[in-house]
Amino acid sequence: MAILNKIRQRSLILILVIALALFAFVIQGVIDNPNAFSNTQGVVATVNGTDIDRNDFQQKVKSYQDRVGGRVSSTQAMNTIYNQELRQIIMDDEYDQLGLSVEKDEMRDLLKNSFQSYPEFQDENGTFDVNRLNAFISNLKDLNGETAPLGNFLVNYESWANNEQTIAANSIQQTYYNMIKTGVNTTVVEAENEYLADAKTVDIRYVQVPYTSIADSLVEVTNADVKAYMNKNEDKFKADANREVVYVEFKEEASKEDEDAIKAKLIELKTDKEEYNQSTESVYTRIGFDTAENVQEFINTNSDIEYNDSYLRAAQLPALAKDTLMKLEVGDYYGPYKDGEYYKLSKVIDTKRLADSVKVRHILIPYVGGQRADASVTKTPEEAKATADSILAKIKSGTKFLDLLDLSSDKVSNEKDGELEFAYNAGMAPEFKAFSFDNKRGDVEVVGTSFGYHVIEILEQKSFNRTIKIGTLARKIEPSDQTLQDVFNKMSKFEIAAKDTDFNELAKEKELTVKPITFKELDENMPGLGSQRQVVRWAFEEGTDVGEYKNFPISGFGFIVAKVVAKNEEGLMSVENASITAAPQIRKEKKAKMIREKITATTIDEIASSQGQSARTAAALTLKNTTLSGAGVEPKVIGAAFGLEQGKTSKLIDGEKGVYVIEVTKITDATKLDNYTAIMNRLNTERRGAVQNKVYQALEKAADIKDNRAKTVY
């Protein structure tokens, strides 16, 4: 009791101690991760002061993924929604600053333009009636979320309101861009220059001293040169933050032993085998492929690929097995053989001579929801089947097929008496094709497909050849549990050893290929591995330093062990990376200087002679074509030619492929036009057509964007 009393007496001190400890823990967390309690956790991005809320953003991403049916990755979906949200905020800011909006009367006009063709909004004379539109909207409100028909759609008040917002937004956008386009015009001088750039020509003589005349080994490019070049051309070498990573792969692939075991299992399935049943404590005979009476049931029970009951032609068989299979008799086997990711054992079940092409005629009765069924189709599947059956009965009782063609909805074939002619490999509905090839000439029957119900009559079958029906036992080639364990152990041992060994040397010792990759913070894909955001996130985590490594499981592949080798922050790229593009340009500049220093002559012929080159000619040069005959693309040289008078010689020109001197031998001036309106109109159309993208690009570049995607949703 005395101890308990002391504890009670000191409880306040104890509470204070615990509180201080918790406070210290929280403060340390803030120091270690200053963003831990920032508002950015709930904000995907802030654009010109407007936040993109994380929860709202994720709901839109999910809705988008549902619409596209999984055809894009989660990162691709987030990028799409992010760009949409970004554009909307930026453009809404512009509209607000300009006071652009859609007022009530204008909205009614927009709705009239969008829905005046709908019968629901027309009076008895077929004229748009705004009162009917108002009544329809009022009725939607009263339905409290329930839907009402509109044309071929069902709409509720929420979807109607969303559609109104879309119509209004499109109208404001159109007004905005029309305002800008109105200010985009071409002057007469611009039109004249455009004309002259194509019509005025210049002939020249020139000499080129190519940069290749000086060996690269004679031109040293230092890191200092690269740094200086980068500083002069900063825009070319700006880079986003990135992480340079190397990794090795540990693939979960079936071993030779695994493949041998799969082949042995297939062979074992051929014959009957006595096996012990533990539940009944008795021995029973497991039926083998040799004696199985129900081939379909046997294959579907023992194979990874279901039984195909079709007769197959050579072109429909596996390429590596078709020649052998086509020569086998009923009951003969081929295999086990490897076909893609399966081992297969095939047995010939039956053979038959079948046509390679057929001619049929048909009557199609579609139903609501059938493929390509238009709005005029009203029959249910049951009603369509009943109609097709009644047509078949009439044909079998003596009515001519052609007399019933008006009942068919296939208007294309109806123009040819309902006839269709196609080969066995044509892209026809499988049920339609099966009936046409597997039955006999003259047979007529009702066949159901995704398009509806067809009454088909076989008119002709041609080019009969041998086909075979095969039963194939297939087993997917997969690694065994032991192989999976071996791969995991190999990966784990590598990861442990990498702690005390050079990553590249260890990989070389283990005969593994080291693969480099550079990530930006919002990237996701790795070559051959697909989306691997887990690796990118790890590489950009604040606690991940250069030299750290980690293993990652890769779905359907195995594992990788990745190592961070460089952390490059936003700004100018490293000298090493910049030198890839900078060094050739620096080397070219240095060679140009060396060539200039060698040239003392002043005429083209003297320069050509002293430098071991030939004087060349180029005729009919225009400002629009920057290709110099015999030299390639040389915009500086072409431009210099149009800046010289006839008979004049240029100074030394540093071109793309070498140092040049040119002499203008002839100038052919263009005849001025009396009117440049046509050219002005063409340029106006081109410029105004490019306005929309260019304006938005400029607005986005000027916007204040704080992108938190990597920390919130990616």
Q: How far apart are CA 362 and CA 455, in angstroms?
A: 5
- In angstroms, how far is the first alpha carbon of the chain from the final one? 57
Q: Do the beta carbons of residue 211 and residue 657 sit within 8 Å?
A: yes
Please tell me the predicted confidence (pLDDT) of residue 310: 87
Please tell me the predicted confidence (pLDDT) of residue 31: 42
Please tell me the predicted confidence (pLDDT) of residue 67: 85
Secondary structure string (H, E, C) spanning 191-204:
HHHHHHHHHCEEEE
| Nearest residue to 656 (alpha-carbon basis) of 706, 588, 568 | 588
Concatenate the DSSP letters of all residues of 523-552 into one string.
--EETTTEE-HHHHHHHHSTT--TT-EEEE
pLDDT tens per residue, range 589-612: 999 999 999 999 999 999 999 999
pLDDT tens per residue, range 181-199: 999 999 999 999 999 999 9
What is the pLDDT averaged over residues 138-152?
Answer: 89
Residue 495 has pLDDT above 80, yes or no: yes
Residue 282 has pLDDT above 50, yes or no: yes
pLDDT tens per residue, range 19-75: 444 444 444 444 444 444 344 568 999 999 999 999 999 999 998 998 888 788 888
User: Under 8 Å CB-to-CB from 245, ≥6 apart: which residues?
Assistant: 516, 517, 518, 519, 535, 539, 562, 563, 564, 565
Residue 425 has pLDDT above 80, yes or no: yes
Please tell me the predicted confidence (pLDDT) of residue 187: 96
pLDDT tens per residue, range 660-683: 999 999 999 999 999 999 999 999
- DSSP E strands, 548-702: 549-554, 558-568, 571-572, 616-621, 627-628, 632-633, 653-654, 658-668
Structure tokens at 386: 């009943």
User: Residue 263: which pLDDT band, with cuts at 50, 70 and 90?
Assistant: very high
Structure tokens at 291: 């004696």
Residue 106 has pLDDT above 80, yes or no: yes
Residue 508 has pLDDT above 70, yes or no: yes
User: Under 8 Å CB-to-CB from 581, ≥6 apart: which residues?
Assistant: 236
Q: Kindly list the domain boundaries of the chain, sorted by start residue.
A: 1-37, 40-98+183-197+674-714, 100-160, 201-237+578-668, 241-253+479-569, 295-476
pLDDT tens per residue, range 358-399: 999 999 999 988 888 887 888 999 999 999 999 999 999 999
Q: How far apart are CA 522 and CA 710, in angstroms?
A: 6
Please tell me the predicted confidence (pLDDT) of residue 635: 97
pLDDT tens per residue, range 631-650: 999 999 999 999 999 999 99
Q: From the CB of residue 130, how many other CB atoms can be counted at a distance below 10 Å?
A: 13
pLDDT tens per residue, range 286-339: 899 999 999 999 999 999 999 998 899 998 899 999 999 999 999 999 999 999
| Nearest residue to 491 (alpha-carbon basis) of 541, 548, 562 | 562
N residues, the chain? 714
Q: What is the DSSP letter of 622?
A: B
Please tell me the predicted confidence (pLDDT) of residue 710: 85
Average pLDDT, the chain: 90
Do 241-253+479-569 and 295-476 have matching folds? Answer: yes
> Phi, psi at residue 506, to the nearest 5°?
-65, -45
User: Under 8 Å CB-to-CB from 104, ≥6 apart: which residues?
Assistant: none
| Nearest residue to 534 (alpha-carbon basis) of 74, 79, 64 | 74
What is the pLDDT averaged over residues 523-549?
Answer: 93
Please tell me the predicted confidence (pLDDT) of residue 278: 81
* 295-476 classified as CATH 3.40.50.1100: no
> 3-class SS at 463?
strand
Please tell me the predicted confidence (pLDDT) of residue 41: 67
Instruction: Say which amino acid occupies 15.
Output: I
Secondary structure string (H, E, C) spanning 34-62:
CCCCCHHHHEEEEECCEEEEHHHHHHHHH
Tell me which of 66-80, 200-214, 611-625 is least confident: 66-80
Of all residues in the chain, what percent carry a pLDDT higher than 70?
Answer: 94
User: Under 8 Å CB-to-CB from 338, ≥6 apart: which residues?
Assistant: 259, 320, 344, 477
pLDDT higher at 479 or 10: 479
Please tell me the predicted confidence (pLDDT) of residue 585: 96
Please tell me the predicted confidence (pLDDT) of residue 74: 85
Q: Which CATH number fits domain 241-253+479-569: 3.40.50, 3.30.230, 3.10.50, 1.10.3210?
A: 3.10.50
| Nearest residue to 556 (alpha-carbon basis) of 479, 474, 475 | 479
Please tell me the predicted confidence (pLDDT) of residue 3: 36
Of all residues in the chain, what percent carry a pLDDT higher than 90?
Answer: 75
Tell whether the torsion through CA atoms of 691, 693, 696 and 697 is positive or negative. Answer: negative
User: Residue 713: which pLDDT band, with cuts at 50, 70 and 90?
Assistant: confident
Q: How far apart are CA 41 and CA 55, in angstroms?
A: 11
Query: Model-level pTM?
Result: 0.65
Please tell me the predicted confidence (pLDDT) of residue 40: 52
Alpha carbon of residue 171 to chain centroid: 31
Please tell me the predicted confidence (pLDDT) of residue 626: 94
Q: Which CATH number fits domain 201-237+578-668: 3.40.50, 3.10.50, 3.30.160, 3.10.20?
A: 3.10.50
Residue 484 has pLDDT above 80, yes or no: yes
User: Under 8 Å CB-to-CB from 412, ≥6 apart: which residues?
Assistant: none
What is the pLDDT averaged over residues 535-541?
Answer: 94
User: Under 8 Å CB-to-CB from 262, ≥6 apart: which residues?
Assistant: 254, 336, 343, 475, 477
Crossing angle of helices 130-142 and 157-182, in 10° steps, is 130
